[in-house]
Amino acid sequence: MEKNRSTVQPNKQQILNRLKRIEGQVRGIHKMVEDDRYCVDILNQIAAVQAAVNKVSIGLMEDHTHHCVANAIKNNDGEVAIKELTDVMKKMVK
Protein backbone atom coordinates (compact mmCIF):
# COMPACT_ATOMS: atom_id res chain seq x y z
CA MET A 1 0.00 0.00 0.00
CA GLU A 2 1.38 3.36 -0.93
CA LYS A 3 1.46 5.51 2.18
CA ASN A 4 0.08 9.01 1.93
CA ARG A 5 2.89 11.03 3.51
CA SER A 6 0.72 14.15 3.70
CA THR A 7 -1.92 12.53 5.91
CA VAL A 8 -2.57 14.72 8.92
CA GLN A 9 -2.91 13.03 12.28
CA PRO A 10 -6.29 14.13 13.64
CA ASN A 11 -4.97 13.88 17.21
CA LYS A 12 -1.42 15.03 16.49
CA GLN A 13 -1.10 17.48 19.40
CA GLN A 14 -2.50 14.97 21.87
CA ILE A 15 -0.03 12.35 20.63
CA LEU A 16 2.88 14.78 20.85
CA ASN A 17 1.88 15.77 24.40
CA ARG A 18 1.74 12.13 25.47
CA LEU A 19 5.12 11.43 23.88
CA LYS A 20 6.64 14.39 25.73
CA ARG A 21 5.31 12.99 29.01
CA ILE A 22 6.73 9.57 28.15
CA GLU A 23 10.06 11.17 27.33
CA GLY A 24 10.06 12.82 30.75
CA GLN A 25 9.18 9.54 32.43
CA VAL A 26 12.08 7.79 30.69
CA ARG A 27 14.46 10.53 31.81
CA GLY A 28 13.13 10.04 35.33
CA ILE A 29 13.84 6.32 35.14
CA HIS A 30 17.36 7.07 33.95
CA LYS A 31 17.89 9.31 36.97
CA MET A 32 16.43 6.67 39.29
CA VAL A 33 18.97 4.14 38.04
CA GLU A 34 21.81 6.68 38.39
CA ASP A 35 20.66 7.41 41.94
CA ASP A 36 20.55 3.68 42.85
CA ARG A 37 16.85 3.80 43.65
CA TYR A 38 14.97 0.71 44.79
CA CYS A 39 14.51 -1.76 41.92
CA VAL A 40 10.77 -2.19 42.47
CA ASP A 41 10.25 1.57 42.22
CA ILE A 42 12.14 1.60 38.93
CA LEU A 43 10.16 -1.35 37.63
CA ASN A 44 6.91 0.38 38.52
CA GLN A 45 7.98 3.41 36.51
CA ILE A 46 8.96 1.20 33.58
CA ALA A 47 5.50 -0.40 33.70
CA ALA A 48 3.94 3.07 33.63
CA VAL A 49 6.00 3.99 30.54
CA GLN A 50 5.00 0.76 28.81
CA ALA A 51 1.33 1.46 29.51
CA ALA A 52 1.69 5.01 28.20
CA VAL A 53 3.41 3.83 25.00
CA ASN A 54 0.67 1.24 24.51
CA LYS A 55 -1.96 3.94 24.86
CA VAL A 56 -0.26 6.05 22.17
CA SER A 57 -0.01 3.01 19.91
CA ILE A 58 -3.69 2.18 20.30
CA GLY A 59 -4.65 5.78 19.57
CA LEU A 60 -2.55 5.81 16.41
CA MET A 61 -4.00 2.48 15.36
CA GLU A 62 -7.55 3.76 15.86
CA ASP A 63 -6.82 6.89 13.81
CA HIS A 64 -5.17 4.82 11.09
CA THR A 65 -8.12 2.41 10.95
CA HIS A 66 -10.76 5.14 10.84
CA HIS A 67 -8.96 7.20 8.22
CA CYS A 68 -6.34 5.38 6.16
CA VAL A 69 -7.84 1.89 6.19
CA ALA A 70 -11.37 3.18 5.69
CA ASN A 71 -10.22 5.28 2.71
CA ALA A 72 -8.32 2.34 1.26
CA ILE A 73 -11.44 0.18 1.47
CA LYS A 74 -13.47 2.89 -0.29
CA ASN A 75 -10.80 2.98 -3.03
CA ASN A 76 -10.81 -0.83 -3.45
CA ASP A 77 -7.38 -1.18 -1.86
CA GLY A 78 -8.69 -2.55 1.43
CA GLU A 79 -6.98 -5.93 1.42
CA VAL A 80 -3.53 -4.36 1.30
CA ALA A 81 -4.40 -1.87 4.06
CA ILE A 82 -5.89 -4.58 6.27
CA LYS A 83 -2.80 -6.78 5.83
CA GLU A 84 -0.55 -3.86 6.68
CA LEU A 85 -2.59 -3.15 9.82
CA THR A 86 -2.65 -6.78 10.96
CA ASP A 87 1.10 -7.08 10.36
CA VAL A 88 1.83 -4.11 12.60
CA MET A 89 -0.61 -5.41 15.23
CA LYS A 90 1.30 -8.71 15.30
CA LYS A 91 4.51 -6.78 16.01
CA MET A 92 2.84 -4.90 18.84
CA VAL A 93 1.58 -7.97 20.69
CA LYS A 94 4.86 -9.88 20.65
Identify the pLDDT of residue 2: 47
Its pTM stands at 0.81
Of residues 81 and 4, more confidence is placed in 81
The predicted pLDDT at position 11 comes to 85
pLDDT tens track for 7-52: 667 888 999 999 999 999 999 999 999 999 999 999 999 999 999 9
Q: pLDDT value at position 10?
A: 82
Domains and CATH numbers, the chain: 12-92 (1.20.58.1000)
Mind spelling out the 3-state secondary structure of the chain? Answer: CCCCCCCCCCCHHHHHHHHHHHHHHHHHHHHHHHCCCCHHHHHHHHHHHHHHHHHHHHHHHHHHHHHHHHHHHHCCCHHHHHHHHHHHHHHHCC
Return phi, psi of residue 84, to 5°. Answer: -60, -45
5 has pLDDT over 80: no
Mean per-residue pLDDT of the chain = 91
Kindly tell me if the per-residue pLDDT of 76 is higher than 90. yes
Give the largest Cα separation in the chain, rounded: 56
